Amino acid sequence: MAKLTEEQRRQRAAKRAQRAALDAEAEDQRRRERDDLWKREGTRLTWAEYVAGEPCRSCGSPMKDGLGSWPPLMKMSEQEKREYEEADRRFRERHADCRGGRWTIEGSRLTHCCFCCPPPPLSPKQVESIARIFASVSRQERKKDLDTWDLTLRCGHVVPYIQHRDNAYVSAHVVDCQDCGERRGVVSSERVGPAYRDDGTIREHASADRERLAQEVAAAEAKLARQQKNAAATQRRITELQERLSNES
């Protein structure tokens, strides 16, 4: 088999990225439709309903069974292994097409599907803890730790994406495209730099900056063309005058 050229490898990689972006859009749409369904049907439990022992409104199973967590596999008895394997088999059968993970609650052996079953609600203590974390750092201080990334989407448009500087890559696979007005899959990403200036104002998006520079270049080129045209006309006039002067002498 002939060795691929660098250009062929680049083209194949670009096609793979496009296919992955298209698949991400389909999965994003699937999950958005599920979230809309949960919202319409009130599938998520409130904290009060969860504490009261309401079952999962998706699968109908209790949120927790109180049997305690499964012990490590190496420490399971033969009976526990059989029960674990049977529970795993039933879960795989019920959720074969969900393409999601699983979640369970500490102290329970019941397993719920990450796609079908909404997770348990946050407790008031958890909500308070999260609010305290955000309140401990001012918004201006948080801005200092944010970077802008340029995301190239499946449609070809480039959009800004802001996230914390500690992230080494963009985990989002689908984002809103301002130009298309649609959700589009991410083909590639590039870190631009700090999202905000020292005065707290947002930096101009790199693609917008490039567009502005391109417009300035086009205007400068048009001006240069006019100047060159005028210069050529002036040079022709000088040549004509020199010829007349030479003839008269």
- Domain range for 141: 136-203
**What pLDDT score does 210 carry?**
60
Assign 149 to helix, strand or coil.
Answer: strand
End-of-domain residue from the set 101, 131, 161: 131
Residues 13 and 67 in one domain: yes
Residues 224 and 172 in one domain: no
**What pLDDT score does 6 carry?**
87
pLDDT band at 109 (very low <50, low <70, confident <90, very high): very high
**Average pLDDT value for the chain:** 89
pLDDT band at 224 (very low <50, low <70, confident <90, very high): confident
Total number of domains constituting the chain? 3
DSSP for 168-204 reads: SS---SEEEETTTTEEEEEEEEEEEEESB-TTSPBPP
End-of-domain residue from the set 102, 131, 160: 131
pLDDT band at 215 (very low <50, low <70, confident <90, very high): low
Assess contact for 163 and 145: CB atoms under 8 A: no
Q: Per the domain annotation, does 144 fall within a domain? A: yes
Report the pLDDT averaged over residues 99-126. Answer: 94
**What pLDDT score does 245 carry?**
73
Report the pLDDT averaged over residues 72-77. Answer: 92
d(CA 91, CA 166): 37
**What pLDDT score does 225 carry?**
81
Assess contact for 203 and 196: CB atoms under 8 A: yes
Residues 198 and 220 in one domain: no
DSSP for 214-242 reads: HHHHHHHHHHHHHHHHHHHHHHHHHHHHH
Report the pLDDT averaged over residues 5-24. Answer: 93
Q: Per the domain annotation, does 79 fall within a domain? A: yes
Residues 123 and 170 in one domain: no
Q: Per the domain annotation, does 111 fall within a domain? A: yes
Assess contact for 133 and 114: CB atoms under 8 A: no
pTM of the predicted structure, to 2 decimals: 0.71
Instruction: Read off the amino acid at residue 157.
Output: H
Please give the share of the chain, as a percent, with pLDDT higher than 90: 65
* Token reading at 153: 């989407």
pLDDT band at 148 (very low <50, low <70, confident <90, very high): very high
Report the pLDDT averaged over residues 166-174. Answer: 94
Residues 108 and 194 in one domain: no
Per-residue pLDDT for 132 more than 70? Answer: yes
Residues 106 and 80 in one domain: yes
β partners of residue 160: 150
Which helix (H) or strand (E) segment holds residue 103: the answer is strand 102-103
Per-residue pLDDT for 185 more than 60? Answer: yes
DSSP for 78-110 reads: HHHHHHHHHHHHHHHHHTTT----EE--TT---
Residues 10 and 121 in one domain: yes
Assign 142 to helix, strand or coil.
Answer: helix
- pLDDT-wise least confident of 38-42, 96-100, 114-118, 212-216: 212-216
**What pLDDT score does 13 carry?**
93
Q: Per the domain annotation, does 1 fall within a domain? A: no
